[in-house]
Amino acid sequence: MPLPKVVTPVFEVNLLSTGKPVRYRPFLVKEEKALLIALESGSDKNIISTVKDVLKACVVSRVKIDTLPSFDLEYLFLNIRGKSVGETVELLVTCADDETVKVPLTIEMSEIGLDVPDDHNDTIQLDGGISIKMKYPSMDEFLKNNFSVVEETNKDLVEEAFKAVAKCIDTIYTEEEAWSASDCTQTELVKFIEQLSSSQFQQIERFFNTMPKLKYEGKVTNPNTEVETDVVVEGMANFFG
């Protein structure tokens, strides 16, 4: 006689970028086990591959998660994690008044929101009437940024930074003409970036530095000094535990 099948609950959350609903289920035990094994292995390849597989398996709506903005992926993963292992995140934070004492902090999933800086802009205006339309990091870049554990040399970091910027260019255009990044090679895009001035490249850096991200703001009290200080937690990697 076959064993009964366990019914897995399905939940719904609205994408932050579009407001459209996405249906998802929690991690299964086998998937949580695979995540733990991948994280303990310390292998970038294993971690990224496993997280990607789990995300795709848990999202049951027809949505191309490979093309979602990085903050949508962060929010989705955090919600899936919340329904899988609990509605709270337990962290240790350092008290700001002495920068030494660490205290436990319990964060409710519902208290984590999306921070969108006022000066965030996905269009870079260059001299000569040239503009660059940026897009958010892909799923692969998102996973690499949040789960990568391999140490890189300064040279590697610089090269990877330029490649990452090239991958996030959507369109280069003027009033008369437009060039889609999908029609260009990565080498062509990197060479285009290398010809920018420092001030122009800083505008691109500002796009990345001000990208929407998960954020929690709260307060903690130092048990030794009884001083209450503000605490800010940002980015999915800091909520994953």
User: Rounded CA gap, 188 and 163, in Å?
Assistant: 11
Strand runs (DSSP E) across 8-144, as ranges? 11-14, 21-24, 88-94, 102-108, 113-115, 123-125, 131-134
Indicate the pLDDT class of residue 171, thresholds 50, 70 and 90: very high
Indicate the pLDDT class of residue 181, thresholds 50, 70 and 90: very high
Residue 8 has pLDDT above 80, yes or no: yes
pLDDT tens column, 212-240: 888 899 999 999 999 999 999 887 666 65
pLDDT tens column, 185-212: 999 999 999 999 999 999 999 998 898 8
Whole-prediction pTM value?
A: 0.72
CB-based contacts of 64: which residues, under 8 Å, 6+ apart?
Answer: none
What is the structure's pLDDT at 176?
A: 92
Residue 231 host element (H or E): strand 228-234
pLDDT tens column, 108-167: 877 888 888 888 989 999 888 899 999 988 777 766 666 665 445 455 667 777 888 999
Mean pLDDT of 160-187: 92
Residue 223 gets which letter from DSSP? T
Residue 241 has pLDDT above 70, yes or no: no
Strand partners, 44: none
pLDDT tens column, 65-115: 878 888 888 888 888 888 887 778 888 889 999 989 999 999 887 788 888
47-57 exposure pattern, b = at least 16 Cβ within 10 A, e = fewer: bbebbbebbeb
* DSSP characters over 157-221: HHHHHHHHHHHTEEEEE-SS-EEEGGGS-HHHHHHHHHTS-HHHHHHHHHHHHT--EEEEEEEEE
